[in-house]
Amino acid sequence: MKRMIAFGGIGLLVSSVLLGQDAMQYGVKHLKVLAEDDKVRVLEYSPKKGDKTPMHSHPPSVVYVLKGGRVKYTLPDGSTKMVELKTGEALLRPPVTHSDEALDDVDSILIELKK
């Protein structure tokens, strides 16, 4: 079953293009590049409860949740959304700009699709 997490539609898409920060620039310990080429980048996102990632952007992505839990996302306009990631689910995600805070220990694989 395909699922999509929408983070604010067209306005967010525009924000993503305008802001464009790469999460890897912050050197956070819970985000690691597993593989990368000119078409995709595979990341492991494995924060512990309380870990945060500053405002950053992702291109269209596929997320596979290895260990579920809750994550709070903050969008560029300051609005927040709490998402419950479920172990074993796969999510198709549009381009997004956000910051995040793990409310539980989480482990997932994020596959970013480069253009």
Global pTM? 0.80
Q: In what order do the strands lie in the sheet with 61-67?
A: 31-36, 40-45, 107-113, 61-67, 90-93
Task: Judge contact between 19 and 109, C-beta under 8 A.
Answer: no
Task: Go through the domains of the chain in sequence order and give each one's CATH number.
Answer: 9-113 (2.60.120.10)
96 to each of 49, 107, how far by Cα in Å? 22, 19
Per-residue pLDDT of the chain (115 residues; tens, 9 = 90+): 444 444 444 344 443 344 568 999 999 999 999 999 999 999 999 999 999 999 999 999 999 999 999 999 999 999 999 999 999 999 999 999 999 999 999 999 999 999 8
| DSSP at 74 | E
